[in-house]
A = this chain, B = another copy of it.
Amino acid sequence: MVTRDLNPHMRRELIRTLRRSLPAAAILHDPEALRAYECDGLSAYRELPMLVVLPETVEQVRAVLAACSERGIPVVARGAGTGLSGGALPNADGVLLSLAKLNRILEIDEHNRIARVQPGVRNLAISEAVAPLGLYYAPDPSSQIACSIGGNVAENAGGIHCLKYGLTVHNIQALTFLTPDGRLLAVGGGAPDSPGYDLLALLTGSEGLLGIIVEIVVKLLPRPERAQVALAAFDDAEKAGAAVAAIIAAGIVPAGLEMMDNLAIRAAEEYVHAGYPVDAAAILLCELDGMNEEVSEQILQVRRILTQCGAASVRTAQDERERLLFWAGRKAAFPAVGRLAPDYYCMDGTIPRRNLARVLVRISEMSASAGLRVANVFHAGDGNLHPLILYDASRPGDLERAEQLGARILELCVEVGGTITGEHGVGVEKIDQMCLQFSAPALTQFHALKHAFDPQGLLNPGKAIPTLRRCAEYGAMHVHGGKLHFPEIERF
């Protein structure tokens, strides 16, 4: 296969310019080398970039941006490439800017419980580095072994523990980023509030559209004295949904509150032998952490609530080994479900907690009518769904059916008052559903905001925020379907 060299002259000239600032090994243009960057975790979308650059210093990143900015060349930033919405999908006529080599932990400040890190540092590497101090970094996306903190910030990543400890935005304190024209801006600070507009929150989750993040100050937390988990089995998912609501209503904030349906339970059990009840319609995993006595008291309270809500059985992990085993099943759920079919498509939407049971029923109906199995794994405490759609890409039409089913599920999320992404971002995957989520005036405001940071529109073009034209077409399509409409003002 050959590289599609859209503009060979521009490409050669850009390489010459970049070589003045970057070592030759930091500029990849060989098609085989580019291949490794053609997609992120959403492998259904692939594109070879014109060039890949791997700068090792902030000054080199600035040089890349300056060169691209002068020439009007798009730049797509990439962390570890574990994203699930195609946010790091390259542009064929653009530069893929890998931040993987900016991977140093610059400072650990035990006293103020912060660490200053470069964007390419792996999420788990932070917790490992500060473990001797009894500290850790709380957000734990399931890819945390591999994913980079810069990517976490770009996507505002979550994880099992974000119910209690918040998303990435709640666990970072400051950012340094480069604007496309090479200005280095520092935002956020040492205080809970900062004067000026909240650019820290604005950049977080902006999916690489507003600036290139080159340094991050993360907050560190003391490791809780103790963690304990309860595993409850239910013979019907509605009861499990009611239990979730009851736990939250009791004023308990679990460290994690996860739900799996029967297909996910069986897949996980076969894969890791976590001791799950394979006949249950749904299980809940409820983790409590904190000081010893606090956890003891809360676990009793949670057991009581689970039983009152009709759990068929409630087990508490007998020891740390069993606690980790209970979680191993949940954490392996995606690959476990992946063994049930040649391919699977992981969705990510949110719904108000009270609608959990109702949405599960609708998904099951949609699944039947599409002829595709769906396994459900939820961050139930947050109302964050991860339906896993099983399909076979080698069967004609299956991928399209899976994508359509995924889109319908997201539309259902919006319909019941939820959102089209809980933690995976919009990327290319959900850009059409943004038209359902947001009104035309809101999208217009998003474009104006983008323009204020990136007037040339060079950073990650075509991602995250759809054009109004695209929405008009998408909206029109759905009006024909007779159910959804393009919302003038959409509360979400």
Partner-B contacts on A (CB < 8 A): 111-113, 156, 158, 162, 166-167, 169-170, 174, 176, 179, 183-187, 189-199, 201-202, 204-206, 210, 221-222, 224-225, 245, 248-251, 290-291, 293-294, 297-298, 350-354, 382-384, 417-423, 425-426, 430, 434, 437-439, 441-442, 444-446, 448-453, 464-465, 489-492
Closest residue of chain B to A421, judged by CB?
A: B195
Residues in B neighbouring A453, C-beta threshold 8 A: 445, 448-449
**Complex interface: chain B residues within 8 A of A158 (CB):** 192-193
Contact of A245 among B111, B294, B417, B437 (CB under 8 A): B111
Copies in the complex: 2
Please give, as numbers and ranges, the residues of chain B lying within 8 Å of A354 by CB-CB distance: 111-112
A189 to B352, CA, bound (A): 10
Q: Among B191, B222, B248, point to the contact of A422 (Cβ < 8 A).
A: B191
Query: Whose C-beta in chain B lies nearest to the C-beta of A198?
Result: B201
Indicate if the CB atoms of A186 and B294 lie closer than 8 Å.
no
8 Å CB contact of A190 from B112, B419, B439: B419
Min CB distance, A48 to chain B, in Å? 28
Distance from A62 Cβ to chain B, minimum over Cβ atoms (Å):
12
Q: A197 is contacted by which of B249, B418, B449 (Cβ under 8 Å)?
A: B449
Q: Is the CB of B446 within 8 A of A190?
A: no
Known contacts A354-B112, A452-B452; A191/B430 CB under 8 A: no
> Can you give 9 A-B contacts (C-beta < 8 A)?
A170-B170, A192-B382, A195-B421, A195-B437, A196-B465, A198-B198, A198-B204, A198-B206, A224-B251
On chain B, the residues within 8 Å of A291 by CB distance are 294, 297-298
- Determine if B196 and A438 form an interchain contact, defined as CB atoms under 8 angstroms apart: yes
A228 to chain B, nearest CB (A): 15
Q: Is the beta-carbon distance between A185 and B297 smaller than 8 angstroms?
A: no
Contact between A186 and B490, CB atoms less than 8 A apart: yes
Which residue from chain B places its CB closest to the CB of A190 in the assembled complex?
B352
Taking CB as reference atom, which chain B residue is nearest A379? B192
Closest residue of chain B to A204, judged by CB? B198
Question: When A291-B298, A445-B185, A449-B452 are in contact, do A419 and B202 touch as well, CB less than 8 Å?
Answer: no
Bound form: Cα–Cα A283–B423 in Å: 44
Residue pair B111, A434 in contact (C-beta under 8 Å): no
Which residues does chain B contribute within 8 Å of A430, judged by CB atoms? 195
> In whole angstroms, how far apart are the Cα atoms of A192 and B351 in the complex?
10
- Given A191-B419, A193-B422, A441-B185: A352 in contact with B201 (beta carbons within 8 A): no
Once A111-B245, A297-B294, A353-B112 are accepted as A-B contacts, the answer to whether A434 and B193 lie under 8 Å apart by CB is no
In the complex, A424→B418 CA distance in Å?
33
Contacts of A111 in B (CB 8 A): 245, 249, 354
Question: Contacting A202 at CB < 8 Å: which of B202, B225, B420, B422?
Answer: B202
